[in-house]
């Protein structure tokens, strides 16, 4: 069975509305002869004359009258499918979004995001997941809608990225720690005992290493998997945790924070998503919300 030419539906819709080959040709910007050929094709595939001569004009057959409403609905439905998606109304949105980020993101930005969602889109639920690695499979597979990361190289075509805020490393210790008093020197920083964050558990894969001067020696006392654990240990023991300043602001409450004696390289926290969600109005709204909340917190 041959595939039907669906363009004929549009032609039939206009012909039935105009009741004239010449009028339909003008509407569709075709020549009268091309429109006559299209009508002949419609007669062939439907097995009905559709429009027949009546005086100086054309009149629809009973079959054409019966098809008129159905054809109109089909054409309007196709046009709705093919036009760009309209902006979503957050107040009527019912959806769950999953965001994946390193620890510290929920503590810092979660309350602001939840407050905005409650005010703008009460039917939306936010699910926050920890980010144990940089694997983008959850984004590709649709298990995660959005995640945050340091984009240290060009993002491939399989992902989209947009900057959220700039950050830098700082040191954090309990107030009884020697480094909490007076100026922190490079010698004092290197000699102190450190807790470092490494997703793999390996010291030479610590997450802060790319932003510290090469060859900086530290006394590593222990390795943990996240910023929250590092700061929890620094809060109770004489350990130095080197962490992102803005990303861990809430986690560092009650600790003494100091600038590193050797300037670290700044970095940008970005949000990542899969291209299939690029034009989704609800996802665009979510991205705008995350961008605004992170921007407000970063300026605070």
pLDDT tens column, 63-119: 988 888 888 888 877 777 776 656 778 999 999 999 999 888 999 999 999 999 999
pLDDT tens column, 241-262: 999 999 999 999 999 999 999 9
Angle value at C-alpha 53, between 47 and 59, nearest 5 degrees: 75
% of the chain residues with pLDDT over 70? 93
What's the confidence (pLDDT) of residue 1? 47
CATH architecture of 169-265: 3-Layer(aba) Sandwich (3.40)
Written out in words, the top-level CATH class of the domain with range 7-82 is mainly alpha
Q: Helix (H, G, I), strand (E, B), or coil: what is residue 67?
A: helix
Element spanning 229, H or E: helix 227-236
With 0-12 CB in 10 A as exposed, 13-18 as middle and 19+ as buried, what is 90? buried
% of the chain residues with pLDDT over 90? 53
Of the pLDDT bands very low, low, confident and very high (cuts 50, 70, 90), residue 17 is confident
The residues spanned by each domain of the chain are 7-82, 90-150+278-299, 169-265
With 0-12 CB in 10 A as exposed, 13-18 as middle and 19+ as buried, what is 88? middle
The alpha carbon of 293 is separated from its chain's Cα centroid by a whole number of angstroms, namely 15
What's the confidence (pLDDT) of residue 97? 96
Strands 267-273 and 146-150, bridge-based pairing: antiparallel
Of the pLDDT bands very low, low, confident and very high (cuts 50, 70, 90), residue 297 is low
What's the confidence (pLDDT) of residue 265? 95
What's the confidence (pLDDT) of residue 155? 61
What's the confidence (pLDDT) of residue 133? 78
pLDDT tens column, 27-53: 888 898 988 898 898 888 888 888 888
The alpha carbon of 109 is separated from its chain's Cα centroid by a whole number of angstroms, namely 16
7-82 and 90-150+278-299 have identical folds: no
90-150+278-299 under CATH 3.40.50.720, yes or no:
no
């Amino acid at each position: 069975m041959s595939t039907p030419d669906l363009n004929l539906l549009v032609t039939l819709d206009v012909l039935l509305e105009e009741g004239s080959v010449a009028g339909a040709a003008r509407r569709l910007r075709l020549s009268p002869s091309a429109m006559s050929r299209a009508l002949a094709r419609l007669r062939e595939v439907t097995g009905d004359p559709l429009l027949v001569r009546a005086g100086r004009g054309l009149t629809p057959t009973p079959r054409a009258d019966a098809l008129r409403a159905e054809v109109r609905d089909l054409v309007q439905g196709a046009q709705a499918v093919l036009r760009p998606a309209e902006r979503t109304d957050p107040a009527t949105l019912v959806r769950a979004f999953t965001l994946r980020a390193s620890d510290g993101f929920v503590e810092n930005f979660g309350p602001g995001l939840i407050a905005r969602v409650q005010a703008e889109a009460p039917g939306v639920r936010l699910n926050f997941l920890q980010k144990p690695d940089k694997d983008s499979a959850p984004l590709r597979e649709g298990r995660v809608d959005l995640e945050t990361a340091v984009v240290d190289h060009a993002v491939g075509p399989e992902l989209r990225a947009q900057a959220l805020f700039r950050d830098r490393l700082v040191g954090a210790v309990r107030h009884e720690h020697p480094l909490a008093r007076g100026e922190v020197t490079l010698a004092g920083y290197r000699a102190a005992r450190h807790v470092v964050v490494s997703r793999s558990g390996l010291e030479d894969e610590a997450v802060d290493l790319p932003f510290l001067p090469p060859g900086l020696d530290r006394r590593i006392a222990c390795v943990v998997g996240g910023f929250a654990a590092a700061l929890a240990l620094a809060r109770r023991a004489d350990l130095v945790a080197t962490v992102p300043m803005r990303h861990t602001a809430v986690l560092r409450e009650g600790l003494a924070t100091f600038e590193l004696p050797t300037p670290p390289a700044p970095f940008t926290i970005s949000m990542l998503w899969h291209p299939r969600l690029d034009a989704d109005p609800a996802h665009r709204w979510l991205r705008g919300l995350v961008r605004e909340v992170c921007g407000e917190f970063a300026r605070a």
